[in-house]
A and B are shown apart, each in its own frame.
Chain A
Amino acid sequence: MNSTRTAPERPRGLTVKNGAAGDKVFSGLTLAAGVTILVVLAFVAIFLTIESLPALSPSLFSDQDSIDSADSFWDYVWPLMAGTVMASAIAILLATPVAIGIGLYISHYAPRRIATPVGYVIDLLAAIPSVVYGAWGMTFLAPLLVPIYQWLNTYLGWIPLFAEAEGASVTSTGRTLLTASIVLAVMVLPIATSLCREIFLQTPKLHQEAAQALGATRWEMIKMTVFPFARAGIVSAVMLALGRALGETMAVTMVLSPGVFSLSLITSGRNGTIPAEIALNFPEAFGMRQAELIAAGLMLFIITLLVNMTARWIVSRHKEFSGAN
Chain B
Amino acid sequence: MSQSTTNLTAGPPAQKTGSNSLTAGLMPGWTWIVVAGAALVLGAAITVVLSDQFAVVGWVVLSGLLYIVGMYLITLVLETRRRATDMLWKNLVWTAFFIALVPLISVIWTVVANGLPTLISNPGILTDDMSNVVGADDQATAAGEAPLMGGILHGLIGTLTITLMAMVFSVPVGLLASIYLVEYGTDNWFSKAIRFFVDVMTGIPSIVAGLFAFSGMTLFVSTFISDSPAALQSVKMGLTASIALSVLMIPVVVRSTEEMLRVVPNELREASYALGVRKWRTITKVVLPTAMSGIASGVTLAIARVAGETAPILVTAGYAVSVNWNVFSGWVTALPVYIYRQLINPTAPAAPDPAAARAWAAALILILIVMGLNLLARVIAHYFAPQKSGR
Contacts and interface: CB of A to CB of B under 8 A. Distances in A.
A301 interface: yes
Interface stretch (A63-71, A74-82, A157-165, A239-247): A239-247
Nearest to A243: B203
B100 A189 contact: yes
B124 to A, nearest CB: 22
Given A124-B371, A218-B86, A138 B96 contact: no
Contacts, number: 281
Given A247-B208, A254-B343, A275-B311, A220 B281 contact: no
B339 interface: yes
Contacts of B86: 217-220
A26 interface: yes
B366 interface: yes
Given A34-B185, A38-B193, A131-B308, A279 B198 contact: no
Contact of B247 (A44, A105, A129, A250): A44
A62 interface: no
B310 A128 contact: no
A215 B10 contact: yes
Contacts of A307: 203
Given A34-B180, A51-B215, A127-B371, A219 B343 contact: no
Nearest to B92: A101
Contact of A43 (B106, B185, B212): B212
Contact of A34 (B106, B194, B273, B311): B194
Given A31-B180, A130-B310, A247-B206, A37 B96 contact: no
A120 B96 CA distance: 17
Contacts of B373: 127
Interface residues of B, number: 100
Contacts of B273: 1
B82 interface: yes
A8 interface: no
Contacts of B247: 40, 44
B328 interface: no
A234 to B, nearest CB: 14
Interface in A97-155: 97-98, 100-102, 104-105, 109-110, 118, 121, 123-125, 127-136, 138-141
Interface string B51-62: 000000000000
Interface of B is mostly: helix
Contact of B8 (A34, A140, A215): A215
Interface in A25-81: 25-27, 29-34, 36-38, 40-41, 43-44, 47-48, 50-51
B184 interface: yes
Interface string B197-230: 1111111111111011011101100000000000
B177 interface: yes
B120 interface: no
Interface stretch (B22-30, B291-299, B312-320): B312-320
Overall SS of chain A's interface: helix
A129 B309 contact: yes
B57 to A, nearest CB: 9
B343 A98 contact: no
B197 A37 contact: yes
Contacts of A254: 340, 343-344
A186 interface: yes
Contacts of B9: 212, 215
B4 interface: yes
A67 to B, nearest CB: 17
Interface string B117-142: 00000000000000000000000000
Nearest to B315: A282
B166 interface: no
A103 to B, nearest CB: 9
Contacts of B310: 129-131, 249-250
A13 to B, nearest CB: 12
A300 interface: yes
Interface of B: 4, 8-10, 82-83, 85-86, 88-90, 92-97, 99-100, 103-104, 106-107, 110-111, 114, 172-177, 179-181, 183-185, 190-191, 193-194, 196-209, 211-212, 214-216, 218-219, 247, 250, 254, 273, 276, 278-281, 283-284, 304-305, 307-311, 314-315, 318-319, 336, 339-340, 343-344, 356, 359-360, 363, 366-367, 370-371, 373-374
Interface of A: 1, 14, 19-20, 22-23, 25-27, 29-34, 36-38, 40-41, 43-44, 47-48, 50-51, 97-98, 100-102, 104-105, 109-110, 118, 121, 123-125, 127-136, 138-141, 186, 189, 193, 212, 215-220, 222, 240, 243, 246-250, 253-254, 275, 278-279, 282-283, 293-294, 297-298, 300-301, 304-305, 307-309, 312
6 contacts: A22-B280, A33-B179, A101-B95, A135-B360, A216-B10, A222-B89
Given A37-B194, A51-B218, A219-B90, 7 more contacts: A44-B208, A51-B211, A105-B94, A139-B343, A215-B4, A219-B89, A247-B204
